[in-house]
A and B are shown apart, each in its own frame.
Chain A
Amino acid sequence: MTDVDRLHRHLEERARIATVEATPLASIVGRAKQRDRRRRAAIGAFGVAAVGGLAVGALWMGGSDDKEVRSVDSLPGTVETTPSLLPADSTPAATTMSAPGTGGESAFAAAIEASGLLTSPSADDAAQATDNDLYRDGDVGMQISSVGNSVSLRRCRDSESATCGTGWAYVTEVAGGGEVHGGLLGEASPVNLQLQLLDERYFVASESAPDAQAPSRAWLIDAVSGQAGVLGWRDEPTTLNSPAQMLLLCEESYNSFATHCAVVRGPDAADGGWQFLPTEGGLPRVVDARDGTIRPLAVPDDVVAGLPVAQHGTGRIWIGTDPDGDRLGLAYSDDGGASWNEVALPQQISATSEELATSLLPYGDDLLEIAADGDRVAVARSWGGDNNTVYVSDDAGTSWTTAASEPGGNGVHLYVLADGRLVVMGSIDTRPNDLFASTGSDWAELDNVDFQFADPESLSDKRFSVNGAGVAMIHSFMYPCDGAYPCPGYTMDEAERATLDTIDVSTDLRNWSTIQIPNP
């Protein structure tokens, strides 16, 4: 008898011997009507509170029926002009990490504010977004910045007495739980929304578009104020991760005159390096690292939705293509996009577009992942491939070798650290679960990142946030028993409650420092 046969037999026996009572239908109907009455009463009470001007933020990380309510100091629409990203007693003075943008007054933040892109959600929006009966965990992961600010996406759930009005909502929380805000997004596709971290404060929720003809949507969210604004994208919002820059490319949406489009982290700016760049003439722009100029980025005609762009300090831009419309390709430019050199991908990774188009679900991240540093480039199938193999080339794609390690999970993400090493992150959906880094300049030699300070039993549920500037490991989101009950050795709060406790950060994956996040 095979293991699976044994499992089947046991499950069937358990189902057969289960003692389940046959509840009369009338009892079910009575329960339903009672629920209706309670719901109406609750809605009435909430309406009175709203008229009274009370701002209410539900504790969004609790159980769905837990109606713990956390009061907030300010109305959801109130914007702090000089936001404090950490509570005063949690300033990471003991840390060694240089975290750009933690001052809260970066040029990036100032430019965002000046642009008028972000607007405050109404009190009704905020109340909806934080209502656990209307929205639940979006199952697209939560992103947490290295100072503990977080954004969580929530999706509409069926509610007996009310409709959500929009498919997606978000909830932001300032480090330590001092402030909770919520707002509504649009009707994004439920299968391919994702959340990206820009810096300690700003996050992008983006819908990837499997069809290049259909403009996808994205929203910029400020975790501190709870404000958000719609970004119009050329296609898949494309993240450029490098120590020098992080770029999201976009252009005006087809049916609007939106001018807020590109978010760029510029190189070596004294204030922390963030710049916000509205588009010009509908073209996405890129900081050309060769001379620091900002110019529109021309892309090859065969660039399609979902294909990434990567650029390192050398200025070379790598981009995924779809030559002839039937296969994946790769190209690079050394002149800011004026001309492009096509490169052959490893055969194993070069799935046809038809394969991708007919895959089970058309995720935008179904395509290719690129990390590059000059001639050195690493590629992997981000999603949908048969394996998670990472291929590395030291000669600009002329020849490829297979990296020594294969990350677990069902998605692969690649990054380049400031010291030039490759970081490979395996993920389950959008949740990071496996981390490797090259041992030196040879990207094919990958070692598991050694978290000497962490409980090994908990590492299977570690949460990471990675970008070119470094890695943040979020301890509070480890579930020792993967959510199972009971969880011996852990209290319920330790095992289940999603609160921020500490975040270990490192810019080189060798030296770590800990940021303490006080919980109320």
Chain B
Amino acid sequence: MDLTPARATVRAAKLEPVRSDALEYVAFSFADFYSVNHASVARALSVTLGDDHLATEAVDEAMARAYQRWDHVRGLESPGGWVYTVGLNWARSLWRRSLRSMSIRDRESESDIAAVQCSDLDLDRALRNLSLDQRAVVVCRHLIGYSELETARVLGIRPGTVKSRLNRALTGLRSSLADTDEIGRRDGR
């Protein structure tokens, strides 16, 4: 399932299947869950991580873990959210290890490569300056469409933490964009 630009459509892709009644829930198989959620979780992770390949790896790893524990995961309030968070944590761990062997210059040049495709480069750069935790909250709230409480439950943090991280993230974005505007003015852009 593709995420489309339409906000309403994105909200519908809440990374969890619709369970309208108990019968549907019982029939809810991993294969169904996988076909519905793989792409949307991968795209959400891609935005969070800023790395398509890593996002694909992360969602595959998280889906494999979901498969192993499907009896447990399918009973969760948001199986898709669980996969998103597991994938995020897996990527975070992998990232830490791989970055240890990379120079700062290498890391920055890789990040720049990932940025060139989108239309709002300033905002994309500002977004990448946020911490991973902050980006996760931004994605949960403003891309996936979770409420504060849902975001807290999915990420395993307090609602207050969601608020504070989101607040710091938005403040950081505004600050970065203001700096960019200032540089643009000075450069005559």
Contact A16 B164 (CB under 8 A): no
Alpha-carbon gap, A136 to B77, bound state (A)? 21
Contact B160 A486 (CB under 8 A): no
Tell me the minimal C-beta distance from A3 to chain B in angstroms.
Answer: 6
Given A15-B3, A23-B38, A486-B108, check contact A29 B52 (CB 8 Å): no
Alpha-carbon gap, A160 to B61, bound state (A)? 12
The residues in A between 27 and 46 inclusive whose CB is less than 8 angstroms from any CB of B are 27-29, 31-32, 35-36
Contact A160 B158 (CB under 8 A): no
Alpha-carbon gap, A19 to B114, bound state (A)? 11
Contact A383 B160 (CB under 8 A): yes
Contact A139 B156 (CB under 8 A): yes
Pair count A-B, CB < 8 A: 177
Alpha-carbon gap, A229 to B42, bound state (A)? 45
B63 in contact (CB, < 8 A)? yes
B143 in contact (CB, < 8 A)? yes
Spot the interface stretch: B19-27, B89-97, B180-188. B89-97
A63 in contact (CB, < 8 A)? yes
In the complex, which residues of chain B have a beta carbon less than 8 angstroms from the beta carbon of A335? none
In the complex, which residues of chain B have a beta carbon less than 8 angstroms from the beta carbon of A491? 104
A456 in contact (CB, < 8 A)? no
B47 in contact (CB, < 8 A)? yes
The residues in A between 1 and 26 inclusive whose CB is less than 8 angstroms from any CB of B are 3-4, 6-23, 25
Contact A14 B68 (CB under 8 A): no
B138 in contact (CB, < 8 A)? yes
In the complex, which residues of chain A have a beta carbon less than 8 angstroms from the beta carbon of B131? 481-484
Contact B96 A482 (CB under 8 A): no
Contact B134 A482 (CB under 8 A): yes
Tell me the minimal C-beta distance from A233 to chain B in angstroms.
Answer: 22
A499 in contact (CB, < 8 A)? no
Tell me the minimal C-beta distance from A200 to chain B in angstroms.
Answer: 29
Q: How many residues of B contact A (CB 8 A)?
A: 74
Given A12-B7, A17-B117, check contact A29 B67 (CB 8 Å): yes
B36 in contact (CB, < 8 A)? no
A357 in contact (CB, < 8 A)? no
A410 in contact (CB, < 8 A)? yes
The residues in A between 87 and 142 inclusive whose CB is less than 8 angstroms from any CB of B are 139
Contact A361 B158 (CB under 8 A): yes
Contact B164 A428 (CB under 8 A): yes
Contact B157 A139 (CB under 8 A): yes
Contact B164 A15 (CB under 8 A): no
Alpha-carbon gap, A213 to B73, bound state (A)? 33
Q: Is the interface of B mostly helix, strand, loop or mixed?
A: helix
Given A12-B3, A28-B64, A66-B97, check contact A20 B173 (CB 8 Å): no
Tell me the minimal C-beta distance from B148 to chain A in angstroms.
Answer: 9
Given A63-B96, A428-B161, check contact A18 B43 (CB 8 Å): yes
Tell me the minimal C-beta distance from A60 to chain B in angstroms.
Answer: 14
Alpha-carbon gap, A410 to B163, bound state (A)? 9
Contact B149 A28 (CB under 8 A): no
In the complex, which residues of chain B have a beta carbon less than 8 angstroms from the beta carbon of A4? 142
Given A35-B64, A139-B157, check contact A11 B95 (CB 8 Å): no
A269 in contact (CB, < 8 A)? no
Q: CB-CB contacts of B76-114 with A at 8 A, as 1s and 0s?
A: 000000000000011011111101100010011001000
A502 in contact (CB, < 8 A)? no
Indicate the member of A12, A139, A160, A481 with the most B CB atoms within 10 Å.
Answer: A12
Other-chain residue from A20, A383, A484 in contact with B46 (beta carbon distance below 8 A):
A20
Other-chain residue from A8, A25, A410, A483 in contact with B160 (beta carbon distance below 8 A):
A410
Contact A10 B120 (CB under 8 A): yes
Contact B96 A492 (CB under 8 A): yes
Alpha-carbon gap, A409 to B161, bound state (A)? 9
Given A8-B142, A158-B69, check contact A486 B99 (CB 8 Å): yes
Alpha-carbon gap, A14 to B135, bound state (A)? 13
Contact A160 B99 (CB under 8 A): no
In the complex, which residues of chain A have a beta carbon less than 8 angstroms from the beta carbon of B170? 3, 7
Contact B64 A31 (CB under 8 A): yes
A65 in contact (CB, < 8 A)? yes
Q: CB-CB contacts of A457-487 with B at 8 A, as 1s and 0s?
A: 0000000000000000000000001111111
In the complex, which residues of chain B have a beta carbon less than 8 angstroms from the beta carbon of A520? none
A64 in contact (CB, < 8 A)? yes
Alpha-carbon gap, A19 to B63, bound state (A)? 18
B189 in contact (CB, < 8 A)? no
A288 in contact (CB, < 8 A)? no
A301 in contact (CB, < 8 A)? no
Alpha-carbon gap, A220 to B175, bound state (A)? 44
Contact A492 B132 (CB under 8 A): no
Contact A496 B96 (CB under 8 A): yes
Other-chain residue from B65, B108, B158, B160 in contact with A32 (beta carbon distance below 8 A):
B65
15 sampled A-B residue pairs with Cβ under 8 A: A11-B142, A12-B10, A14-B46, A15-B143, A18-B52, A20-B42, A29-B67, A32-B64, A65-B97, A66-B97, A409-B164, A483-B133, A488-B108, A492-B96, A493-B100
Q: Which 5 residue pairs spanning A and B have beta carbons closest together?
A: A486-B107, A18-B46, A20-B42, A410-B160, A482-B131
Seed contacts A7-B123, A485-B99; 9 additional CB < 8 Å A-B pairs: A10-B123, A25-B31, A28-B34, A32-B65, A66-B96, A410-B160, A410-B163, A428-B161, A487-B104
